[in-house]
Every structure is written in structure tokens, then in C-alpha cells.
A and B are shown apart, each in its own frame.
Chain A
């Protein structure tokens, strides 16, 4: 009888222990598998982010080269042609009645030459490198002011700090796209630009008094390519880009970038 009893207890305790161990093993393997799954998902996400960044960088590089070549072409080729045309016009002997027309043509060519020079400067990345993003932005505002379509108001506060050249180009392109959008779509009369430097952080706010912005989530296909580019560029810095409607009218675009300190 005692032998049978010890057999029964052995069976009971051994089977319970085996089941406990098996359950533990199953749960531990489940946790290990989940940890592996997490790592895989993270790696996949990182790879996708890196790939997107590389793609964007390549895209920006190609765009930058294209801008540079267009800028050079405008300056060296079209600019030269206009200059030659101006020289020819000035050297022509015209009758007294045609003098007025000639001087008008001359002033139009002068204006075209100025605009051409401005465009050439604004799209040339080397120019941004030389002047810096802030002066290039001010030059861009100046160019818009000259069109007489907008009253441009500029203000700044704080002490400017140095930003890496590649990042300066990205910041400038975002601001340039914002101004282009205002000129093309806002139908407003005023542009207010405010630049604020504070504790290694620069915040640029551009406001207009136009018809406003139809806000849509960034991942919707309805959003324009320009704004998508602005958002991808901001993500590349990384910076925070906010686009919202103004209190009464117009749009407010704010770009905030914090320079990383070591």
C-alpha cells in the first residue's frame, strides 16, 4: 500500500511539475518571440526612414544641381542676350517721335534684366551658401516687395547663430516655397515675416492676409506637392512646420528649428 501511495504522489507531483515547466517554457518563448518581432519592426521602420531620407537627399541634390545650372544659364546666356539687346537699342539712331518708345523698351529690358538677376540669385544654392539663409530670405522678400503686389513687413529678434550650410539651404527652400504659395494662391495684400532666435532655436513665422489655407492631413492625397515637399524637408532637418489659418484671414506658417548642441 505505501508503495502504491508513493507511486500516486510521484505521478501527481511529477506531472504537475512537468506541466508547470512546459507552461513556463511556452510563455517565455512567447515573450522572446515578441521581443524579436519588436526588433524586426523597429529595424524595418529605421530602414524605411533611412531610405526615405536618402531618397529625399538625392532628390534635393538633383534639384540643387538643376537650379544651379538654370541659374548659370539665365545669368550667362539669357542675361547676356538682354545686355546685347540693350546695347543695340542704345546704339540705334531713332527719330524724335520714336525716342520715347525706345526709352520705354530700354526701361522694360532693364526691368527684365533686374528680375532675371534676382531669380538667378534666388535659385542659386551657392548664393545661399554665400549670403546665408536669413539674407537670402530677406532678398526673396525684397524681390516680392518690388513686384508691388504685396506690402512686405519684416522683423526679427534675438541673436542669430550659425547653422550648418546644408540645413541653411533646406530652411531657405521651405521659406521660399511658403512665399511662392502666398504669391500664387493667397490673393492677399500683406506679408508679415518674423524671425526669432532664442536658445539655439530659430522660429520663422510668415503670415499673409489672403483667403486662407484649406487644411488637410499631411497624408491625404489632396495636399499639394509643394506642401508635401515642405513637410519632408522639415522632417529632414528635423524641424517643426505648422501651417494654420489666421485668426481673421490668411495663413500662418511657422517653421521652428533647434540646432543640436554637442
Chain B
């Protein structure tokens, strides 16, 4: 196996691990939101696997990632709606449910589904950063005495801020970079975006495992 293939496959393996670990939420009777996230992460793994297979066979897979990101942003917004208690955030999520599909529709009509929809990626990623930051604010103001390290959503939010924050500048310029600096785009995607994806999935694994002792004792 050459190094390039190994580097591109490593994130897929970590996503697979995260999806497998997330399934403990069914074994230890975790809250429903965590189970839903677990199902979504298994779906995430399947999409990523399809993405890798299409890439391996030399097929363009941007349409697949477009659909994947639509679903990801809407699912995460739905899950954060249950975690964040602020009514302003709830209102923001309602607005996102309306504006985001309209944006997706407009971008699909303008640039087609075969091109990576960077406007949608930037809007969705920025909104996810906002939701994760809102959850951090909630933790900051909370009177609860439990350690944040035992809160799965702390780890998930940490991962989402890191991943979306660090990939949004690149994904926003993706089409431009791809047409002008293909080699650099490949390099940045393989080393940086994949590293952040690995980091996100490691934090997802930590989030699912951080409560395992208390769940066992129940």
C-alpha cells in the first residue's frame, strides 16, 4: 500500500472506529440524542466509504459530499436544538431550517450538484461553530458541578469547533483552489483536512467513552 493511499485511508479508519465506538450508546442506555448521533456517525462512515470507493475508481464524488454536508448540518442543528437551552439559539436553529435549504436550492440551481457547494459549506460550518460556541457558553454559565470532561457534548462541540473552524477557510475556497492550484489543494486536503477530520473523530470517540463508567454503575 503506497503512502498516499494510506494517508487518504487513515481518516476513513478513524471514522469507522468512531462509528463502532458510538454504538456503545445503545449498549449502555445513553440518552436518545447520543443514540441519534451514533446512528448519524454510522451513516457518516458509510458515506465516507462510498466517497473513498468512488475516488478509488476515479469517479467525481462532489455530489455525494454535497448531499452528505446538507444532511450533516441539518442533523447537527437538530441535535443541538435539544442540547442548548437558550431560546435565541432555538430561534436561530428554526431560521437555519428555513434559510439553509433555500441556499442549497439556489446554489444547486446556479452551480449544479456536481460541483462542491462552497457557499453551503461556509454557511453550514459557521452555523455549527455558532452552535458549538453556544453550548460552551451554556457550560460556562451553568451552575452544574459536574466536570465538563464527563459531558459528551463538550467533546463533540470541541471537535466541531476545531474541524469546522479549521476547514472552513479551505472548503470556502475549494473550487477556486482546485481550478488554480490542484496540487496544493490535494496536499492541503490530504494532510490538513484529514488531520482535522481524525482529530474530530478522536474527540467523538472520547465523547462517547467519557461517561462509560457512570453508565456501567447505573
Contact = CB atoms under 8 A, between A and B. Distances in A.
Looking at chain B, what size class is its interface with the partner chain? 20 to 34
Interface of B is mostly: helix
A46 to B, nearest CB: 15
B136 A26 contact: yes
Interface residues of A, number: 21
A30 B181 CA distance: 39
A154 interface: no
B188 A30 contact: no
Interface in B125-184: 133, 136, 139-140, 145, 147-148, 154, 158, 161-162, 165-166, 169-170, 173, 177, 181, 184
A153 to B, nearest CB: 43
B161 A8 contact: no
Given A12-B188, A16-B192, A19-B165, A26 B133 contact: yes
Given A30-B136, A30-B139, A34-B147, A16 B184 contact: no
A38 B181 CA distance: 51
A29 B192 CA distance: 26
Interface string A1-37: 0000100110110011001101100110111011001
Nearest to B161: A23
A12 B167 CA distance: 9
Nearest to B159: A23
Contact of A27 (B158, B166, B184): B158
B148 A12 contact: no
A41 interface: yes
Given A31-B148, A33-B140, A41-B145, A12 B162 contact: no
A27 B137 CA distance: 11
Contacts of A15: 169
Given A26-B161, A27-B158, A30-B148, A12 B169 contact: yes
Given A8-B173, A12-B170, A16-B169, A23 B162 contact: yes
Contact of B165 (A12, A23, A27, A29): A23
Interface string B176-201: 01000100100010001000000000
A16 B196 CA distance: 11
A38 B161 CA distance: 26
A226 B61 CA distance: 77
Chain B CB within 10 Å, residue with most, of A9, A12, A37, A41: A12
Contacts of A16: 166, 169-170, 192
Contacts of B188: 12
B192 to A, nearest CB: 7
Task: List the 10 closest pairs (A to B, CB-CB), nearest first.
Answer: A19-B165, A15-B169, A16-B166, A23-B161, A19-B166, A23-B162, A12-B169, A41-B145, A33-B140, A34-B148
Interface of A: 5, 8-9, 11-12, 15-16, 19-20, 22-23, 26-27, 29-31, 33-34, 37-38, 41
Given A11-B169, A22-B165, 17 more contacts: A8-B177, A9-B184, A12-B169, A12-B173, A16-B169, A16-B192, A20-B162, A20-B165, A20-B166, A23-B165, A26-B133, A26-B136, A26-B161, A27-B136, A31-B148, A34-B147, A37-B145
